[in-house]
Amino acid sequence: MGAGRTVLVTGVSRDLGRTFARSLAADPGVDRVIGVDVIPPRGDLGDVTFVRADIRTPVIAKVIAKEDVDTVVHMSVIATPGSAGGRGTMKELNVIGTMQLLAACQKSEQVRRLVVKSSTIAYGASSRDPAMFTEEMQPRRPARTGYAKDVIEVEGYVRGFGRRRPDVQVALLRCANVIGPRIVSPLTSYLRLPVIPTVLGFDPRMQFLHESDLYRVLQHAVLSDVAGTFNVAGDGPLMLSQTLRRMGRPSVPVPGIAFGGLGAALKSARLADLSPELVAFLTYGRGVDTTRMRTVLGFEPRMSTAEALHEFVETLPPAPRRSERVLAALADRLPAVDADGEVPASERRSPRLSVAGGDSG
């Protein structure tokens, strides 16, 4: 495909979609960018043409036809139920929205390229995982609920579309956890806590992708002729313990059995959402092989995992002095732990507990 294409970007009411659409519109290889969402974005869209449309309805097919769209970038698969108005709406936006968008692309004779922002959460996180997932591998424990299940369903529909329209180049980008100053996600909310709870006895491996590299890889995928599924992450995984040391955040080890109750407390306080998939990630971690990203897609992130974390940390406010009070509040909600890290049967239903002080990370 040559230069001068017309690109439709979904999900532009959120910061990620809006920022990417703006940067893409400035690229000389792109004639026009049409940004689509159900509500207008709050920030400036620059040269992007905004069209108010719900991708869950057939109206998206009319937008694609009317604007002569030849490239579609799907960025509206969301990870947080709160931002969508609840889990039911989130699933509708993610799964039904994707189905309608793909149906619209299938009808269009103009569409020649589809880029989908997916997530490495598709691989899940379990004790049976390999050290590094390659693109051909399947999750060892398939997700049954939440964002991870949505991602797996979305990817299945995208593969089906690719089989039905082999003339359309499909690039599926499985991105590691994106971090950056403006990123609000379950993981960044967790890392912004004044005291970080960790799962007792586990030190999960993490990979990050800086938000600027996310925009770069999406733009690269739009202007490339390469199709396929690609893991996208910064070099060099970090253990959670290393991550917290580099952040200078205090942490408190919490027995796995108590993490659910802690997550409910943090969610009710609107501090963080420790979803089941995030808890699994914070327990077992996840590593992905990025060989195909370099050798086939031809993309190299500018920031490693450690560099992306450093840039994120630089923008964090200092940990509040109320950390000790937060630790005490956490301790009040946890069951007691014996010397072996086990929760005695007599304590399992107790809402109170003492935790030996959190380490320094």
CA 148 – CA 77 distance, rounded (Å): 11
Alpha-carbon distances, residue 284 vs 75, 186, 201, 279, 322 (angstroms): 27, 16, 10, 9, 30
* pLDDT for position 162: 97
From 1.10.260.40, 3.30.499.10, 3.40.50.1100, 3.40.50.720, which CATH number describes the 5-182+207-239+287-308 domain? 3.40.50.720
* pLDDT for position 140: 86
* pLDDT for position 72: 98
* pLDDT for position 261: 78
Spell out the per-residue pLDDT of the chain, length 361, in tens: 445 799 999 999 999 999 999 999 999 999 999 999 998 988 889 999 999 999 999 999 999 999 999 999 999 887 666 555 566 677 777 888 999 999 999 999 999 999 999 999 999 999 999 999 999 999 988 877 788 899 999 999 999 999 999 999 999 999 999 999 889 888 999 999 888 999 999 999 999 999 999 999 999 999 999 999 999 999 999 999 999 999 988 889 999 888 877 877 787 777 788 888 899 999 999 999 999 999 999 999 999 999 999 999 998 876 555 545 555 565 565 555 444 545 455 444 433 333 333 333 3
What are 229's strand-pairing partners?
Answer: 172
Contact 196, 252 (CB under 8 A): yes
pTM greater than 0.85: yes
* pLDDT for position 250: 87
Contacts of residue 348, defined as CB under 8 A and 6 or more positions apart, other chains included, come to 257, 335
3-state helix, strand, coil split of the chain in percent (to 5) is 40, 15, 45
Contact 231, 293 (CB under 8 A): yes
* pLDDT for position 266: 80
CA 279 – CA 81 distance, rounded (Å): 16
